[in-house]
Chain A
């Protein structure tokens, strides 16, 4: 055979060069990377606000910033983290990258719409930055009327515009995913052969398209009331501030499930790979995802127990809120059952997945506390609630995001990250997180209100612990930023399947070619066939045999 000079392999990163090939790309993988840059930036912007909050709370009196400034800090922290990190992160980075591969398609259904979503996201981020530079808003991320619509003297209008545009970006992404998953699956890829990652993104997309439009018009109404003084929520006309709250929470409660469902999808992938087991109860987990999406729309009034809604409505919402825990619990049971008698290994993604399960359970159980009408009267608007949702959003979503980022990093970048540093960071994150937020449960139960910049002396010890934890957590987040970027240049080259994992994305080179599959595989099996996965010499691959 004549020798041939091998050309360097072409893949999605090097198939074209230049800024235009990135800014005008329609390749879902490149768009995922564009999003990665945007949301990482916004994560650290939101993190700076958190840092300032925790600095202020080191001491009982309000001595770092003025009260009005503190109001702006927690408002901007919430707005930035919710809309500019938690909601987009996993779907736009991991979802965009992986879904076409997982369903054996060349791209999403609407690639140009995908790029448009990214541009809208960036435009909304610019409006947010403008808001921040102009002094932010002090209404809380919740924008309650009539303060936001009439009395606040801060930049409500630009903040509203930012969230509005961000909302359209979300809606388009949701639409894209739903149509893609329905219409672009290759022959043989039936619904029940889809990875659970796809199921959770489908469920997330349902929420995105049904809930976000409500937020869009509701915030528009607030903006109109501010600018044109035409007030649907104006008490002087007989308007009801609670109408705003109903509309706001109709979106914002399902929104928290937008934030957690994708992370649950990641965990399903990680738990199966790193215990070398099929998922226990695939259909239960799949349907639980849909159940969460549907049911999340029925409980929003539990954010309004003390706001003035009727007692009967409060009772109905409290009753319904208990049941929303069920599908989430089903998933936790199934993940645990998957681990049972598995061949478990503790690579970095698995550390994040295990952390997720434990912290999500704590966050979820404390959700039952606040769902109980009587208990909530005591703990609402205290640090108990703050701890509850941070356990789920940070202990849950962010850890799911980091776990997924590490797991698929070899596929995305073609490089391996340094496992030692990564494990260390995961541990730092876990420790820092718990030190930050566990004291807050106690603080809240003891009565420390949220959104206050000063507190009684006796709360200082717990606050100091929390702030110390926050600084540790911050280090835990900065480390991956450093070593992941480092690995892009100096990391060891990753093969197609370093774990090794089942799943179609691992059947192609790392990084993948532009059109994903050179030859379209025909799918004949369900996912997670780990027990049957054989190594070179025909033996089942156990945890010990996985690369370190």
Chain B
């Protein structure tokens, strides 16, 4: 276990500014037609914001490695749920047999 890290308010304000900037960006990009990439960019920006909050506001950057593992683990497990289920939805109708 590490002793508590005191993060300066300046860091917090910088992170907050970055978060607002990313918000602006994500709304702006939504009005541009990038086809398939719209969702990629949107999720990418959301992930970036989430990382900023987790690393700085939630002190993951300064903390125990174990918390990292727990946070990453949760995200990874959600990934398993999404990926393997979508392996069904995305491949339906690939075989010319009804219902497959």
Q: Which of these binds chain B: A186-194, A307-315, A496-504?
A: A307-315
A174 nearest CB across to chain B (Å): 13
B77 near A311 with CB under 8 A, answer: no
With an 8 A cutoff between CB atoms, is A344 at the interface?
A: no
A96 nearest CB across to chain B (Å): 23
B21 nearest CB across to chain A (Å): 33
Supposing A210-B77, A297-B77 touch, asked if A310 and B92 sit within 8 A by C-beta, the answer is yes
A310 near B77 with CB under 8 A, answer: no
- Name, among A210, A242, A297, the residue most crowded by chain B CB atoms within 10 Å (CB to CB): A210
With an 8 A cutoff between CB atoms, is A250 at the interface?
A: yes
A297 near B80 with CB under 8 A, answer: yes
- Which residues of B have CB within 8 Å of A310? 87-89, 91-95, 100
A312 near B87 with CB under 8 A, answer: yes
Q: How far is the CA of A214 from the CA of B84 in the complex (A)?
A: 15
B91 near A313 with CB under 8 A, answer: yes
Instruction: For B94, give its contact among A243, A298, A312, A316 (CB under 8 Å).
Output: A312
With an 8 A cutoff between CB atoms, is A534 at the interface?
A: no
| Chain A, Cβ-Cβ closest to B92 | A310
With an 8 A cutoff between CB atoms, is A283 at the interface?
A: no
B88 near A301 with CB under 8 A, answer: yes
With an 8 A cutoff between CB atoms, is B14 at the interface?
A: no
A175 nearest CB across to chain B (Å): 11
| Chain B, Cβ-Cβ closest to A242 | B88
Interface residues of B in 46-100 (CB under 8 A from A): 66, 73-74, 77, 80-81, 84-85, 87-89, 91-95, 97, 99-100
Interface size class of B (residues with CB under 8 A): 10 to 19
- Which residues of A have CB within 8 Å of B100? 310-311
- Which residues of A have CB within 8 Å of B85? 243, 246, 250
Q: How far is the CA of A242 from the CA of B97 in the complex (A)?
A: 18
B80 near A312 with CB under 8 A, answer: no
- Which residues of A have CB within 8 Å of B95? 310-312
Supposing A182-B66, A311-B100 touch, asked if A250 and B87 sit within 8 A by C-beta, the answer is no
Interface residues of A in 458-488 (CB under 8 A from B): none
- Which residues of B have CB within 8 Å of A308? 99
Instruction: For B80, give its contact among A298, A311, A313, A316 (CB under 8 Å).
Output: A298
Instruction: For B84, give its contact among A210, A298, A311 (CB under 8 Å).
Output: A298
A309 near B77 with CB under 8 A, answer: no
Interface size class of A (residues with CB under 8 A): 10 to 19
Interface residues of B in 2-58 (CB under 8 A from A): none
A313 near B66 with CB under 8 A, answer: no
B100 nearest CB across to chain A (Å): 4
- Which residues of A have CB within 8 Å of B97? 311
Q: How far is the CA of A302 from the CA of B81 in the complex (A)?
A: 15
Q: How far is the CA of A250 from the CA of B81 in the complex (A)?
A: 7
B89 nearest CB across to chain A (Å): 8
B84 near A301 with CB under 8 A, answer: yes
Interface residues of A in 271-294 (CB under 8 A from B): none
Q: How far is the CA of A243 from the CA of B66 in the complex (A)?
A: 33
- Which residues of B have CB within 8 Å of A316? 84, 87
A97 nearest CB across to chain B (Å): 26
Q: How far is the CA of A177 from the CA of B35 in the complex (A)?
A: 47
A287 nearest CB across to chain B (Å): 16
A313 near B77 with CB under 8 A, answer: no
| Chain B, Cβ-Cβ closest to A243 | B85
| Chain A, Cβ-Cβ closest to B94 | A312
Q: How far is the CA of A432 from the CA of B88 in the complex (A)?
A: 41
Q: How far is the CA of A136 from the CA of B29 in the complex (A)?
A: 53
Q: How far is the CA of A313 from the CA of B73 in the complex (A)?
A: 24
Q: How far is the CA of A210 from the CA of B80 in the complex (A)?
A: 11
| Chain B, Cβ-Cβ closest to A312 | B91
- Name, among B66, B84, B92, the residue most crowded by chain A CB atoms within 10 Å (CB to CB): B84
Q: How far is the CA of A256 from the CA of B74 in the complex (A)?
A: 21
| Chain A, Cβ-Cβ closest to B93 | A310
Q: Which residues of A contact B (CB under 8 A)?
A: 182, 210, 214, 242-243, 246, 250, 297-298, 300-301, 308-313, 316-317
* 19 A-B pairs with C-beta separation under 8 A: A210-B73, A210-B74, A214-B81, A246-B85, A246-B88, A250-B81, A297-B80, A298-B84, A301-B84, A308-B99, A309-B88, A310-B89, A311-B91, A312-B87, A312-B91, A312-B94, A313-B84, A313-B91, A316-B84
- Beyond A301-B88, A309-B92, 19 additional contacts (C-beta under 8 Å) are A214-B81, A242-B88, A243-B85, A246-B85, A298-B80, A301-B84, A308-B99, A309-B88, A310-B89, A310-B93, A310-B95, A311-B95, A311-B97, A312-B91, A312-B95, A313-B84, A313-B88, A313-B91, A317-B84
Shortest Cβ-Cβ A-B pairs, 8 listed: A313-B88, A312-B91, A310-B91, A309-B88, A311-B100, A310-B92, A246-B85, A313-B87
